[in-house]
Amino acid sequence: MEMISRILKILIGLLLAALVAVVTLGVVYRYFLQSSLYWGTEVPNIILVWLVFLGSVAAYHQHSHIAFTVVSEMLPGWLGRWNDVIVLMVTLLFFSIMLWQGALMTQQSMTSYTEALRIPKAWVYGAIPVSSSLIVLMVLARLGPALKTAVRRDA
């Protein structure tokens, strides 16, 4: 998972740099050259979609998503240990559904094209199954240790 995280961080950095470059280019064309790029809004939107979805994977890996721990911290020992397993199972269910539905959406959008670039919209919607599958893998990697902790009687 660490290798995936490192690759994601590099990819997110490249996407962010591309987003800044494309938006800057659009501004230069619009205000200095009195012209516009026909793809000037579409490309940043596509990049932003991928940034958000891949960023959510990186945030999940680093435990950076918002969490309300007040209730889980008040649970007694054995219930608190099982709380982690329950949260992981709910997360697994949610992202499995997102993976499934995202894959369907991506497949259905193969013949639908973007307005400016005329590329399949599947390139946009593909962010959903890609990010969901990565989070499913991360949840599965965390589930084993969480189960071991939950079933321990001495903890």
Average pLDDT of the chain, as a whole number: 91
Q: Which two tokens stand for residue 83?
A: 């709380």
Cα 97 to Cα 80: distance, rounded to the nearest angstrom: 26
Q: What percent of the chain has pLDDT over 70?
A: 98
With bands split at pLDDT 50, 70 and 90, how would you rate the model's confidence at 68?
confident
Q: Look at residue 67 in the predicted model and tell me its pLDDT.
A: 76
Cα 12 to Cα 91: distance, rounded to the nearest angstrom: 23
Q: Is the confidence at residue 43, as pLDDT, over 90?
A: yes
Q: Look at residue 55 in the predicted model and tell me its pLDDT.
A: 96
CA quadruple 16, 122, 140, 143: dihedral positive or negative? positive
Q: Could you tell me the pTM of the whole model?
A: 0.87
CA quadruple 47, 48, 51, 54: dihedral positive or negative? negative
Provide the 3-class DSSP secondary structure of residue 67.
Answer: coil
With bands split at pLDDT 50, 70 and 90, how would you rate the model's confidence at 150?
confident
Q: Which two tokens stand for residue 44?
A: 């940043």
> Which residue in 4, 129, 124, 105 sits closest to 60, CA to CA?
4
Q: Look at residue 79 in the predicted model and tell me its pLDDT.
A: 80
Q: What's the rounded mean pLDDT across residues 32-54? A: 94
Q: Is the confidence at residue 85, as pLDDT, over 60?
A: yes
Where residue 23 falls (left for φ over 0; alpha for ψ -120 to 50; beta otherwise) is alpha
Q: Look at residue 64 in the predicted model and tell me its pLDDT.
A: 86
Q: Which two tokens stand for residue 58?
A: 């990186």
Express each pLDDT in 86-118 by its tens digit: 999 999 999 999 999 999 999 999 999 999 999
CA quadruple 83, 89, 95, 97: dihedral positive or negative? negative
